[in-house]
Amino acid sequence: MAGRKKQKLAREDRLKKRREDIRKSKQEIREHPILFTVYVVLRVLVVAVLILQLMNGEYYDVFLCSLTLLLFLIPSFVERRLHIDVPNTLEVIILLFIFSAEILGEIQEYYLLFPFWDTMLHTLNGFLMAAIGIAMVDILNRSRRFKVRLSPVFVALVAFCFSMTIGVLWEFFEYGMDQFFGMDMQKDTWLSVVNTVSLNPDGKNSPVHIPIESVVVNGQEWPGYLDVGIHDTMKDLFVNFIGAVVFSIIGMIYIMGRGTGKFAPRFIPRLKEHELSPPGEKEKPEERPSLLEPIALDGLDIQAGPEKVDLYTKDGKLTGGTIERGEDKGDDFTMGIHAFIYDGKGRFLLQKRAEDKKFRPGQWEVTMGHVLAGETAIDCALRETKEELGIALPAENFVKLYRWVDWESHMHTEVFFVRAEPEESVLTLQKEEVIGVQWIGKAEMLEFIKKMDYRPESYKAVVASYLKDCIGE
C-alpha cells in the first residue's frame, strides 16, 4: 500500500512538473514570438531536408541534418540547465548560423556556389565568440569566488583572445578531418603566381615571382597551382580576427559606459540571478557548489575617502558648503531621494535592504539614496538605480512628485516615480546594499505605504494619492 502511494505521488509530481513545463513554454512563446517562429521554421526545413536526403540515400547528409537538430537545442540547454539568459537576438543568430553552415553550406553547397559564404560565417563566428568571451568574464567578475574588478580594456582583450582561440581550434578540426578522414574542409585555392626563394637562380634569400602558365598532373592540365588549404585557413583566421576586434571594442565601450546602450546587451549572455539557489544556512557563500552568484559587473567604484555631501538651506538652496556624510550639519540640510519603480502592469519593485544598514536593516523598501557633492537629485536617482539594481534608466522617465522636508533630521528628500520594464534576468544587485527584490501589485503597494509608520502622514498621503490616481493597474 505504501509503495502504491509513493508511486502515485511520484506520478502526480511528474504530471505537475510536466504541466509547469508546458505553462512556461507557452509563456515563453507569448513573450518571444519571433524567436519561436524562427525556431519552428528552421526545424521544419531541416526535417524536410532530412527526409529528402534519406529518400535519396545520402546518409552523410542525413547525419548533418540530425546534427543540426541537436545543435539547435544548445541555446535552450544553456538557459534551462546553466541558468544563463541567452538574448533573443543572439539566439536567433546562432540558429541561423547553424542552419547556414550545415544545411545551406554543406548540403546545398553554398560554400561552392557563393565564395563569400564561408568568409561571412567565419566573420560572424569571430563576432559571436567575442560576445561569449565577454559573458564568461562577466560571470567570473560577478562571482563571490573571484572578487576582482577587471578593467574594460582587459575584458575586451580576454574576449578577443577567446574568440581567436575558438577560431584556431576550428581550423585544427578542419585540418584533422581532412588528414584523417579524407575530407576537404580546408578548401583549396587556385594560384596563378607563386613567390618563392627556392627557385631563385642565384640561390639568394630573395623571392622570385613565378607566373604559372601551365601545370600538368597525371597527364591532366590544371588552370594553375592548387594550394591545399593554406590560403583558406589564413583567410578564415583573418576575418575571424576582424569580427573579434569589432565586438571586443563594442563590449569595451559598453562596460566603460556602465552598461548603458542597447546594442551590446543583445549579444551578451547573462546569469539568471533569480533562478540561482540561495546558499544553505550552514553553507558559506564562497563554498557554494552551484553556479557563481552574481554581483554587479559595473557596480560602484570604490571611493578613495569618505563620501562628501552638499549642504542646503532650509528652503532647499545650496549653501556652497560640503561635509562628510554623517557629520554634524548644524542648521543646514542635506539632500536625498526616494524612487518608486513601477512597470506597465502596475507592479512596484521593492528591494530588501542589507542586514548591516543603519536604517531599516533587512527590511523591504523603495530605492533610496543620498545626493553626493556635485550631484543633482536626478543624478543621484540614476546612480542609485544603476548601482543597486543594475538597470540604467533614462532621466526623462523620472517624474518628480514632491519634496519632503524632514525637519528632525534636517533632510530634503526628492520623491520620484519612474516607470521601467527590467527583465528579472538583468537585475544585478549590489549585495552591500540590496539582498533581494520582489514585484508587488498596486493594492499591495498601497498597503505597504499605509504601514510606513516611520514616514509622516503627509508623505504617505501624497504618495498614495499619486499612486491611486496616476498609475494604471
CB atoms inside a 10 Å sphere around CB 147: 10
Q: The pTM is what?
A: 0.58
Condensed to tens digits (0 to 9), the pLDDT of residues 427-455 reads 778 878 888 888 898 999 999 999 998 89
- What confidence category does residue 294 fall into, taking pLDDT thresholds of 50, 70 and 90? very low
Q: Which long-range contacts (CB under 8 A, 24 or more apart) does 76-84 make?
A: 78/269, 79/272, 82/291, 83/271, 83/272, 83/275, 83/276, 83/291, 84/135, 84/139, 84/269, 84/270, 84/271, 84/272
Looking at residues 151-170, what average pLDDT do you find? 91
Share of the chain above pLDDT 90, in %: 47
C-alpha cell at 318: 545650496
Condensed to tens digits (0 to 9), the pLDDT of residues 344-379 reads 888 899 999 888 888 888 899 999 999 999 999 999
Hey, what's the torsion of the CAs at 278, 283, 289, 290, to 10 degrees? 0
CA gap 134, 142 in Å, rounded? 12
Q: Is a pLDDT exceeding 90 seen at residue 105?
A: yes
Give the contacts of 137 (CB within 8 A, at least 6 positions apart). 150, 155, 158, 159
